[in-house]
Amino acid sequence: MINRIRDIRKEKGWTLADLAEACDPPTTAQTIGRLETGMRNLSIKWMDRIAAALEIEPELLVRSEAAAHPQVVATLGQSGAEALRAPRDAILATDLGGDRPLMVLSVEESSGEYRPGDQIWLRQLGPEDTARAINRDVLVPRKGGRFAFGRLIDRQGTMVGVLPPGAGQKQQVVDDPPWIAVAEMLVRKL
């Protein structure tokens, strides 16, 4: 496995020392450098510490070296598929970045535009950011370990209204959810 510590650190504009100091407990820039270059083993414990410092999910720190990064080789427009002059890296779900946790909703039965086997990647938002999610597909936690999923259509005070994706579904109202996760990416096998 190749780690992405350096890429993510540089993306945030951090130095080795910045990351070392942000770790809990703090470590040295030399240790972070060794972890980045593979001179020191990146254990699960180190992944958790570094991910917490970078405020990302730990799995974003690693990628497989067995497969090359997918390339965008063409674009599809009104006149059909057109080749790019130079291929570029495709965005992967793990490249979404962001400062809030990612989560995945797996679709087992067709529901609206979603098909069995789809994965819906969602970004968790705090209650204060609910307005950003209006008219977007969201996952909202409910009491008893259940969830509401669908289009966020309303927000009044602490209550949010979610319209499920299937035809003829009734609006679900959730009072004071601790967070809302907004759909960012759909992964679908063809």
Cα dihedral 177→149→147→104 (10° resolution): -100
Nearest partner of 122 among 142, 91, 100, judged by Cα = 100
- The identity of residue 11, as a single letter, is E
- The identity of residue 59, as a single letter, is E
What b-and-e string marks burial along 54-64, b requiring 16 or more CB atoms within 10 Å of the CB?
A: bebbeebbebe
The answer to whether the beta carbons of residues 187 and 93 sit under 8 Å apart is yes
pTM of the model: 0.57
Quick one: 109 exposed, middle or buried, by C-beta within 10 A (0-12, 13-18, 19+)? exposed
Q: How sure is the predictor about 104, in pLDDT bands with cuts at 50, 70 and 90?
A: confident
Interval 109-155: pLDDT, tens: 888 888 888 888 888 888 788 888 899 999 999 888 889 999 999 88
In this prediction, what percent of the chain has a pLDDT beyond 90?
28
Is 100-187 in the same CATH topology as 2-63? Answer: no
Per-residue H/E/C for 3-27? ECHHHHHHHCCCCHHHHHHHCCCCC
Q: How sure is the predictor about 158, in pLDDT bands with cuts at 50, 70 and 90?
A: confident
Q: Is the confidence at residue 73, as pLDDT, over 90?
A: no
Q: Is the confidence at residue 103, as pLDDT, over 90?
A: no
Q: Which fold has domain 2-63?
A: 434 Repressor (Amino-terminal Domain) (1.10.260)
Q: How sure is the predictor about 97, in pLDDT bands with cuts at 50, 70 and 90?
A: low
Please give the residue that has the higher pLDDT: either 139 or 95. Answer: 139
Looking at the chain, the number of H-run helices and the number of E-run strands are: 4, 11
The CATH number that domain 100-187 falls under is 2.10.109.10
Annotated domain spans of the chain: 2-63, 100-187
